[in-house]
Amino acid sequence: MDNIQPEGKKQIALNIVNAKSKHKGFGAGSIDLNNVSPVIIDGDVAVIDIGAMHAKSKVEKGIKFSMNREDVPNGRQVWVVWVAVDRTLEAQFYGGITACEMWIDTEARRGWKILAEHVNKLDAALKRKIDVAGLGAIEKSALKSLLISHNEAWWNASSDELKAALTE
């Protein structure tokens, strides 16, 4: 299939723009996802799973998702936590952190999540918001341990608000 556009018409497409690019042309808007990573919390285990960026994390593969919670009566609660890293002149730090739930029944290959919520929480993390409402003490502890073990300097430079949110 040819992708030939009539003369004079500009093709509308998603632009992937390098962060260092000076591109300011048509359709130049972009969102830089280089500084955000998804963490999957399944029970008491937290892992960084970049596949979650496109709903292809290890726990999501092969699962058919529904927006109806009743479709997954035997599911287990799994969390996607969006972690944004920010920097100052002095150091990098964990700047934004938001959590959203999904329910997965691996045996039935069914799951529940609200994609719009996941997108909104990703956006909130990018805007340096801290929202881990819903996470229990076990999940918070697993996430805190992962963040510290991944980069203790970033943890130490993070805000007191973020540290308190994962200590409560």
> What angle is formed at CA 117 by the lines to CA 113 and CA 121, rounded to 5 degrees?
125
Q: Name the band, by pLDDT with cuts 50, 70 and 90, for residue 22.
A: low
Shortest CA distance to 153 belongs to which of 94, 84, 108, 106?
94
Going by pLDDT thresholds of 50, 70 and 90, the confidence category of residue 8 is low
pLDDT tens across 41-68, in order?
A: 999 999 999 988 888 889 999 999 999 9
Cα–Cα dist 130/117, whole Å? 15
17 pLDDT higher than 60: no
What is this structure's pTM? 0.80
Side-chain half-sphere CA neighbours of 148 within 13 A: 11
Question: Ramachandran region of residue 89, left (φ > 0), alpha (ψ -120 to 50) or beta?
Answer: alpha
